[in-house]
Amino acid sequence: MVQQLNLDAPVFVVPPANRIPVHHYPADMMAIPPSRMFLIRDALKKYKEKAGESAPTFDASQGDGGASLPGVPVEILNRAHELQVKQGTAYNMPWGTPQFRKAAVESYWKLDAETGWGPDNVAFTQGGRDGLQKAYAAMVALGNQETGDALVVSRVPWISYNWGPYSVGLNVLLAPGQPEAGWRYTPESIQACAEFAAREGRKVAGIVITSPDNPTGRTIPVDEQITLARTALESGYPFVLFDWIYHWVTDGGPSDINVVLKAFPKEQRERLIFLDGITKSLGASNIRSAHLVAGKKVIDFITSQASHGLVPSFHAQAVAIAAYEMGFGKAAASIIEPTKQSRKVLRAALAEAGINAIMGDGYYAFIDCTPFIEAGGLKDSEALMSYLAEDYGVAVVAGVYFSDAGANWVRFSYALPPEKTAGAFQQMLQGFKALGG
């Protein structure tokens, strides 16, 4: 018998039991502020107005190796174009292409069969922010299955960690941490966050472990990351997200995903999510190429969501494929090597000047400017940032942009040629000396 439909009345797509309940929480949310990171370089224009158009400036605010360093080598871009021509311009799958998955698993991560993970555990994303948003959404849908949970981040987190989770219904919770330890997590601070959330009548959705860290540059050894992740899972955190977007740009080399996966039993392994990509290590910021490696349920959820949202472009995958197949250490040498040299230059300069700073690996040093802010009678590091850019032609990022705990600190990027790093630091030092302290 053919079912008769009433086409004269509205009808919901999903049954009553599956409909989203009416809730007013969006009306009570704070307005998410736009990132000020993209506006910092404008302050240098004021310096040129004073000193002249030919006056040298130094941009140590950069998180973009494609702007401050050579970026993706031409031979990789050419190879990516060849792959694009061969692929054509049809849609890809929501998780990417088999060719990308194969290159990521075999050439890049070299996933050990013993882990039980393979191509089906990889989803391509259109850059790191896209990957993070998809991971947050998976935490909400597959974890406690409710909005309003807490996502734990470090005390001085990357700006987008504050607002990306919030946009999908998570409340960001800053973990306890002290500056002398680089505000790093401890097992105790992870447990304290779970207890705090419970007292607030909430659950924890997950935790983000970043190494090397943005903004502090703090680096956490893999064995310590494992301890922190294990503590989180045992404390009831449904998911642990490892953000390793900077891990190739280090003195010690990249982290080994197999070591982490093998440290956990199969059921806990499914609750781990790894974010990586070429935006930092290859200077490919505007190519928007990243990926998630995660348990099958997470990847399946992300795939189903992406099929109705952002289907990834092939060209961004092609650049990664070309770099992975070349051998990533070789492909990214034009970013990795000058950054390592700049790290040495900056570390020595900070020590010679006697300035306190957090300095691990990655792109950044986090510099304690308390004596100079106090000597100059400045409000915080935002005022210091404006002063340095407008009067001395050197751009850094105010630590107060990340959290109140960073109010007297600045982020100094050494993702620059070594001579640029040296020049930027000396120019900043002149500004410090003029303030006293």
**CA dist 151 → 143, 160, 205, 351 (Å):** 12, 13, 5, 36
Beta-carbon count within 10 A of 26 CB: 7
Half-sphere exposure at residue 171, Cβ-oriented, CA atoms within 13 angstroms: 18
In order along the chain (437 residues), what is the average pLDDT of each group of 10 residues?
84 94 92 76 85 92 89 97 96 95 98 97 97 98 97 96 96 97 97 98 98 96 98 98 97 96 97 97 96 98 94 96 97 96 98 96 96 97 95 96 97 97 97 91
Q: At what angle do helices 43-51 and 381-392 cross, to 10 degrees?
A: 30
349, two tokens: 């300069």
For 241, list phi and psi in degrees, rounded to 5: -110, 115
Give the DSSP H/E element, type plus range, for residue 259: helix 257-262
Residue type, 393: G
Distance CA 32, CA 271 (A): 29
Domains of the chain: 37-63+332-435 (3.90.1150.10), 74-331 (3.40.640.10)
* Sign, Cα dihedral of 396, 410, 249, 353: positive
Distance CA 327, CA 318 (A): 14
Print burial letters for 93-106: b (CB count within 10 Å at least 16), e (below 16): bbbbbebbbbbbbe
Output the pLDDT for position 437.
67
Quick one: 41 exposed, middle or buried, by C-beta within 10 A (0-12, 13-18, 19+)?
Answer: middle
* Sign, Cα dihedral of 77, 79, 82, 84: negative
Give the DSSP H/E element, type plus range, for residue 173: strand 171-174
Instruction: Let me know: does 410 contact 402? Beta carbons within 8 Å.
Output: no
Beta-carbon count within 10 A of 408 CB: 21
- 3-state class of 115 per DSSP? helix
**CA dist 225 → 244, 254, 354 (Å):** 11, 14, 30
Distance CA 137, CA 145 (A): 10
Residues in Cβ contact with 196 at an 8 Å cutoff, skipping those fewer than 6 apart: 173
Instruction: Let me know: does 300 contact 133? Beta carbons within 8 Å.
Output: no
Does the pTM of the predicted model rise above 0.75?
yes
The CA angle 339-344-346, to the nearest 5 degrees, is 90
Output the pLDDT for position 36.
73
- 3-state class of 150 per DSSP? strand
Distance CA 263, CA 236 (A): 18
H-type helices in 274-326, by residue range?
296-306, 314-326
Output the pLDDT for position 229.
98
